[in-house]
Structure 1
Amino acid sequence: MLEILSPAGSPEGVIAAVQNGADAVYVGFGDFNARKNAKNFTAEEFRKAAEYCRARGVKVYVTLNTLVSDRELPAVAEQAKVACRYGADAFIVQDLGVMRALKQAVPEVPIHASTQMTVHNLEGVKLAAAMGFSRVVLARELSRSEIAYICKYAPIETEVFAHGALCMSYSGQCYMSAVIGRRSGNRGLCAQPCRLNYAASGHDAEYLLSLKDNCLIEFVEEIERLGVACVKIEGRMRRAEYAAVVTGIYSRAIKDKKSPSLDDMRALKSAFSRQGFTTGYYLDQKGPDMFGVREEESKSDQVIFATARKNYLNGEFQRIPVRFAGMIRRGEPAKMAAVDDKGNNAVTQGPTPEPAFHKEITSTMLQTQLHKTGGTPFCCIGVKSEVESGLSLPTSAINEMRRDLLAELLEKRKDLPPRREGEFSPGYRLLNREDKPIMTVSVMKISQLSKELAAMKPRILYIPVEELKKDRTGLEPFLEDSDISIVARLPRIIFDSEKKEVTALLESARELGVKEALIGNVGHLQYVKGLGFEARGDFGLNIYNSQSLRVMKDLGLLSATLSFELRMEQIADMSKCIDTELIIYGRLPLMLTENCIIKNSTGVCTCDNFSGLLDRQGASFPVVQEYKCRNVVLNSKKLFLADKRAATSSAGLWAERLMFTTENAHECAAVMKRYLGQGDYEPGTFTRGLYFRGVE
């Protein structure tokens, strides 16, 4: 049966979810989770919550799903140990360096790959399994056909977001809050700039980045048939009553096979919605109908919440099967025993029965009383009894014995078997390289290339793989220069249904002599290697610490691009076991979207004639086409560090990259000339990025 995973942003949230049928809850413990502003658990609160859940057969997953710096990793390992001792059933992780640390510190606790790892194809799931993950939370943008294909061949469990907020960007690939406000979504402090109003291309379209909440309640049976192991309800930042209402409706739909009624749908909308819900990604029906904004809470919503709270604070969801045995014999104390689904057993005895003068006790009467487990998490599934005739035993005595048995079982269920722990070891620190970083260049279009740029000899030219099949005239000077390596840049998203086309593009690139590919997702590594290409890692891998670099080396990458959310001090401090690269110029990518912003706002595909998004302050954010009509939202200001080369060049880097997006060929050449110290180019407005100020 599908596991229902519910949010618990507070201790009361745990009760709300558990008492409405959740099979598992996910909680934030400590400082390293993607909802730092939720009421995350202290150690003692977590211990009590884990014990409460364990007694009721509910699993507890701990979110450690943020990017973590080298200096923070020891604290993460220690927090994981505490959570392990108190009964964490799994850790949800984004950062591959954290994954590596947990494998050392708490080797017996399963690890789930967070949706922030942006796993969206079968190869990504397979690689996650090879790295030691036991479950993958799939990208929310997948359609049911893509999910079905993955589940058919997946070697580990898959989890799907079924209900709750949808980010406009692919999770893990959104840097908007970090770059424009220093509040990093990848570090757990997203300020949700996507929920603000934006205009586009002279149109008055509003809230172009604010998606409605997902709601797949009508498809849970189908999702189970696809082979999905777990459906997740989003909402740790929301109130406990929200978790109660939504979990209860999904529980009835999954466990009782009860289709949602009109009242259920109204209750879901009252609990939280943004002008209704969407099934757009699941049904592969993307478009403007998927967008909406939060509505004001009504009095009827408050009534629903009050009722939900009263119910979960005053009831017990009966989920634990228990069997009883009773023996009532003349001249002996009454004896009873109980055993639960985990083999825990309890035995008790009561008063000696007396001869019956009015009403004798029968096996049927005894069974009736033992089935009355209301107010406890137990449900009786069977009673064996031996009752001699002609005897009387007070009902109150039977009830007291039943209560004693269930109380003892509940205590025994809280016990936690010891689990092995280890020590996190960061390993020896490698000295930074002292030679000057090489210069690399990435472009979006062949039209951005020129003989002048080629003459400046960038060591590597990254170019989208789909561009390599177009008119190659501008590429000729780079192909003819043996000192320049051309690397095919893969899109960050490649669905399984798109691999055949991308394979053809890579084979075409190989005919040009291209031998390497730049990848921004773990799901593309074995794919390109299987086609005979060497792989380099792009910024989409979110490399934030030395341990992640070790993972990249173990996976066989030639190089890795560091996260542009790092500070220069952190970059210099990293132990670089693999060639590392840093983006030092360009419009940083803020979002990667499955929904086409351009078509949604204009009604037509005008990728080459779109002025971008305008925020409330009048800042313009260019929107460019990604592979298969996906979009990338770019920063309004260009990253410019030509006058800061002393700092970047002394950080032990292998390469520094100029990332060209909206520039024409003349601008590209002018920028590189300035970075080589030969020109005076400077953008009209620019930013230093996060390298000198960092993120929260």
Structure 2
Amino acid sequence: MKKPELLAPAGNWEALVAAVQNGADAVYLGGKQFNARRSADNFDDVALARAVEYAHVRGVKIYVTVNILLADTELKEAVRFLHTVYNTGADAVIVQDLGLIRLARRVIPELELHASTQMTAHNVPGALFLRDAGIKRVVLARELDLKSVRAIREKAGVQVETFVHGALCVCYSGQCLMSSMIGGRSGNRGRCAQPCRLEYRLVDGKGKPVADYEKVGDYLLSPRDLNTSGHIPELIKAGIDSFKIEGRMRRPEYVATVTRIYRTLIDRASRGEEYNVTGEEIGQLAQIFNRDFTTGYFFGVPGRDMMSYKRPNNRGVRLGRVRSYNRETGRAEIELEAPLRVGDGIEVWVTRGGRVGIQVSQIFTGGRKTLCAESGTVVVLELKGHIRPGDRVFKTHDVQLMENAVKTFSSSRETRRIPVDFKVQARVSEPMVLEATDPQGVTVRATTRAAAEEAQKRPLTREFLAGQLDRLGNTPFGLNKLTCELGDNVMVPVREINDVRRRVVEKLSAARAALRKPEPLSEDVVERKLSAVMDEEIERAGSSFPVLAVAVGGAAEVRAAVKGGAGLVYFSGDRFRSRGNVTASEVIKARRYCSEAGVKFYLTTPRIAHDREIEQYLPFFKSLLEAEPDGIMAASCGWLPVLRQLTGLPLATDFALNVFNRQSALFLMEHGVSRVTLSTELTGEQIKQLAGSAPLETEVIVHGALPLMVSRYCAVGSVLGGKGENSNCSGQCRGNTFGLLDRKGVIFPVEMDQHCLMHIYNSRELCLLDTLPYLVQAGPAVLRIEARRENEFYVARTVKTYRQVLDGLRKFPDRLPDLQAIMEKLVEGGPGFTRGHYYRGIMD
């Protein structure tokens, strides 16, 4: 079997060394800016160059993350950073922003690009689209099963990378606005505050809890950690090019332990022998960090079995239960189910009061102190708190495991050795020649500073030379084979041998570091190209009074939108189960109704569609094309090549494509798009700048409940419907409405679509009505009301209000109505409103 690359994370220098020394084939890391793990230590330019050299000497690749959305004001600096990365010799850059891809391909085409999982690549057409855009490797969405991964690898002709271990996001990566909209910390900018790890309870349409949360747990959006260690052969057979470990925010001990174990497992599986994971390996993976484990979506949709409902942080490993507890002495008796030693950290899950955690300072067995105790031993520990017999005890920190991990990245003696063949030539009166060759065929040589002499007592032997040349303890090399051509009775002083060995090793290190380093690109060339691309004259779209658009989910809502004064109607491709099905004939009638009223009608695609779902959806979609819509709105990059094969209608793109800068708009225009919806994370000023400079029409969402997450995990199906790894959902969502109640009493509406994906909506509606004078002047072609989950009465009232305000602005621009009063009346009785990022943005 083809051996996949093992790709490990590094948030700092120690983690980099830990990854390399424990067997990583490649390491991904970030610079001080432009990366999605802003809270990690990361690497400045000097440290980055040092990291690349360190890794390349040891045969390890470096991928640099530049995987966030970028504002127009940042793009030049981001490209300059790519230039720095390229000149250091880094092997690839991991990107999210479409505009940065466009610039990189034009300014530094030599630089290898990998598409971040933030790009939500989840089907064959999406991977093909990215390949054709110049992407060498795609980091696939975590929501894919192995069959889908294999299909993408075989059909798209692009390398694929998948996560195999570590934390999971409950939302499709790149599609989450929850942290951004709730707290202003955007995951698309590397500042996610992880609100998914907080407490939520499922409630019905009236806000009433629908489950026993004492039994279920309170953390309904908190996934377990991914662990595929038991399935490495299946993953290899799927053709995955790179196995990725999540964890740039993790400690180097975590990186060391997980990398070491996966290195062993990949090597074991690749040898073709009977595969197994030892109990020790299973235990160490759990001990170093776990929220309980799951295999994610590789083998299906696991529902509740993927989630950690009762604990959103590290569980550790089970140590046993409290057998007895003396409140006076504060001593607990525990029968161990795992070894324990002084210095370990433990936690008692007490019946009342949460958790009691300590670092073990004393262990008593049989009335005597001991430093350690084995599994099966009854021990007494000093514990304070509301502890009762029967409480469970977990070991959250294993001091021995941590110490062993630390040794791999703190010692000057390297654990990873590159086998080197040495060749020695020595003759009397000539300098000794030492030649070294590595496995890649890199060969260097050096000679002693002094000539060899005739031996008086002990002539040079192969055995003696092997002993001296094998003294490579603080280098990344090890002696593999030694070839000697020694003259008769020749002698070389030990100091000369050691000196020439040191110089050869230095030369070999330098040669290996230079092996992957490209010819540097000059700053002048890059700046000239960058200026040419950034300043290229592209005719911008004509500015006119914006069209009022409405996105709806039903035929009745289409009629309400038209009557209210909409100029454009989007008919949603996502069908919500709370509303029931919509037939093709209903859509065709709705289109005719729009046509008769002179209102444009666009179809929209589902936001998430795996290959199987595209196949299922296309017959229905083709029947809708018979209605001759005015255009199509694509909700992901993967739909663009599919739609281009089906129709020549105008194409627009939805907000899920994260258009955050002018270059992204240009990128999509060059791929056949005529209008782009701007990111909902832009400020009003950014909208104005982008709408005023874009070469194609732009669209801005001004009203509605925005979807904060889209997830393949469904809380309703898992909590109420019984969905698990081996059980199907009973369909409790049909015709019913639900929400997620947070710890502050706020309810986030939830909808399930036709593919059982869960859509979580903001608790408050976006309302930019009082900013319409500014937005109209900003120049977007379309202002949209998002109402896909709303009824006809909501649509009628909202559209009518926006129509009246827009008409007033067009007819009497100098006599503005009382927009504040109009807005207050519009949102009166609703869940509350927000202006989103119009003022605050996500820049820092």
Question: How high is the TM-score relative to the length of structure 2?
Answer: 0.78
1:249-288 → structure 2 map (5 Å cutoff):
249-257=261-269, 259-274=276-291, 276-288=292-304
Looking at structure 2, the residues matched to 302 and 101 of structure 1 have their Cα atoms a distance apart, in angstroms, of 48
Instruction: Give distance in 1, aligned partners of 2:657 and 2:456.
Output: 77
Q: Distance in 1 between matches of 2:582 and 2:554?
A: 11
State the shift of 1:171 in Å. Answer: 0.2
Residue 305 of structure 2 corresponds to residue 289 of structure 1 = yes
How has the CA–CA distance of structure 1 residues 434 and 64 changed in structure 2, closer, same or farther, with 3 Å as cutoff? Answer: same
Q: Against the structure 1 CA distance between its residues 387 and 365, is the aligned structure 2 distance closer, same or farther, given a 3 Å change threshold?
A: same
Match of 2:410 among 305, 309, 313: 313
SS in 1 for 2:191: coil
Note the C-alpha offset of 1:259.
Answer: 4.5
1:615 corresponds in structure 2 to 742
Between the aligned partners of 2:789 and 2:607, the Cα distance in structure 1 is 19
Structure 2 letter corresponding to 1:681: L
Offset of 1:78 from its aligned partner? 1.8
The CA distance in 2 between the partners of 1:356 and 1:282, in whole Å, is 70
Q: Hey, what does 2:155 align to over in structure 1?
A: 153
Which amino acid in the other structure matches residue 482 of structure 2?
V
Q: Which range is displaced more, 10-19 or 408-417?
A: 408-417
Task: Find the aligned partners of 1:74 and 1:217 in 2 and give their Cα distance.
Answer: 42
CA pair 319-555 structure 1, distance change in 2 beyond 3 A = farther
Q: Are the aligned partners of 1:491 and 1:626 in contact in 2 as well (CA < 8 Å)? A: no
- Structure 1 equivalent of residue 677 of structure 2: 561
SS at 2:87's partner residue? helix
Unpaired runs of 5+ in structure 1?
none
1:343 is aligned to 442
Alignment match, 1:540:
656
Give the corresponding residue for 2:589.
476
Q: Answer with 57-66 or 47-56: which moved more.
A: 47-56
- The equivalent of 2:572 in structure 1 is 464
Written as runs of structure 1 = structure 2, the 5 A alignment for 1:17-96 is 17-96=19-98
Superposed counterparts of 1:568-579, under 5 Å: 568-574=684-690, 575-579=693-697
Number of the residue aligned with 1:527: 642
Task: Tell me how far apart the structure 2 counterparts of residues 476 and 262 of structure 1 sit (CA, whole Å).
Answer: 63
Q: Which residue of 2 aligns with 1:509?
A: 624
- Describe the SS at the equivalent of 1:628: coil
Query: How far apart are 1:273 and its partner, in Å?
Result: 1.1
What amino acid is the match of 2:287? S
Residue equivalent to 1:630:
757
Question: 1:230 maps to what in 2?
Answer: 242
Distance 1:259 1:546 in 2: 51
- 1:309 offset after TM fit, Å? 1.1
- The equivalences for 1:68-217 within 5 A come to 68-201=70-203, 202=209, 203=211, 204=213, 205=216, 206-217=218-229
Contact 1:433 1:653 in 2 (8 A): no
Q: Deviations over 1:31-56 (max 9, x none)?
A: 21111111122222222222212222
Query: Mean Cα displacement is larger for which, 42-51 or 13-22?
Result: 42-51
Instruction: Work out the percentage of aligned pairs sharing the same amino acid.
Output: 36
Separation (CA, whole Å) in 1 of partners of 2:65 and 2:754:
32
Instruction: Return the alpha-carbon distance in structure 2 between the equivalents of residues 629 and 285 of structure 1.
Output: 10
Equivalent pairs, count: 693
1:464 to partner: Cα distance: 2.7
Per-residue CA deviations over 1:109-135 (Å, capped at 9, x if unaligned) read 111110000001111111111111111
Provide the residue aligned with 2:841 in structure 1. 694
Establish whether residue 325 from structure 1 lines up as the match of residue 344 from structure 2. no
- Whether the 8 Å CA contact 1:367–1:385 is kept in 2: the answer is no
662 and 323 in structure 1: CA distance in 2 versus 1, 3 angstrom threshold = same
Does 1:414 find its partner at 2:513?
yes
Q: Which residue matches 2:432?
A: 334
Cα gap change, 1:133/1:477 in structure 2, threshold over 3 Å: closer, same or farther?
A: closer
SS at match of 1:681: helix
- Cα drift, residue 471 of structure 1: 6.8
Q: 1:576: Cα distance to partner?
A: 1.2
Moved more, 137-146 or 678-687: 678-687
Q: State the shift of 1:97 in Å.
A: 0.6
| Conserved 8 A contact 1:443-1:660 | yes
Q: Which of 827, 830, 844 is the matching residue for 1:682?
A: 827
CA contact (8 A) 1:454 1:477 kept: no
Deviation readout 1:587-610 (Å, 9 max, x if unpaired): 111001011121112124222313
TM-score of the two chains, using structure 1 as the length reference: 0.94
Cα 1:500–1:395 change in 2 (3 A) is: same
Match of 2:700 in 1: 582
Q: Residues 110, 480 of structure 1: CA spacing in aligned structure 2 closer, same or farther, 3 A cutoff?
A: same
C-alpha distance in structure 2 between counterparts of 1:519 and 1:436, whole Å: 24
Q: Which residue of the partner structure matches residue 375 of structure 2?
A: none
CA deviations on 1:360-381 (whole Å, 9 max, x unpaired) are 5544664565456444222444
Would the aligned equivalents of 2:56 and 2:512 in 1 still touch at CA under 8 Å? Answer: yes
Would the alpha carbon gap of residues 626 and 356 (structure 1) be closer, same or farther in structure 2, given more than 3 Å must change?
farther
Residue 15 of structure 1: SS of its match in structure 2?
helix
Q: Note the C-alpha offset of 1:91.
A: 1.0
Query: Does structure 2 retain, via aligned residues, the 8 Å contact 1:330–1:391?
Result: yes
Deviation at 1:194, TM superposition (A): 0.3
Q: Aligned AA for 1:419?
A: P
Q: Distance in 1 between matches of 2:503 and 2:646?
A: 65
Structure 2 unaligned residues grouped into runs of 5+ = 204-208, 270-274, 317-343, 346-396, 576-580, 722-729, 806-821
Tell me the equivalent position of 2:813.
Answer: none
* SS of equivalent residue, structure 2 residue 827: coil
Match of residue 606, structure 1, among 725, 732, 747: 732
In structure 2, the CA distance between the partners of 1:34 and 1:328, relative to structure 1 (3 Å rule), is same
Aligned mates of 1:36, 1:433 — CA distance in 2: 39
Contact 1:432 1:652 in 2 (8 A): no
- Does the aligned pair in 2 maintain the 1:318–1:374 contact within 8 Å? no
Counterparts of 1:646-685 in structure 2, within 5 Å, are 646-677=773-804, 681-683=826-828, 684=830, 685=832
Contact 1:9 1:38 in 2 (8 A): yes
Aligned amino acid, residue 280 of structure 1: G
From 374, 394, 398, give the equivalent of 1:301. 398
Partner of 2:768: 641
**What displacement does 1:677 show?**
1.7
Q: AA paired with 1:377?
A: P
The RMSD of aligned alpha carbons is 2.4
**Alpha-carbon separation, structure 1, partners of 2:231 and 2:835:** 47
Does structure 2 retain, via aligned residues, the 8 Å contact 1:35–1:236? yes
Following the alignment from structure 1 to structure 2, what is the Cα–Cα distance between the partners of residues 638 and 652? 23
**C-alpha displacement of 1:198:** 0.3
Counterpart CA distance in 1 for 2:417 and 2:671 is: 43
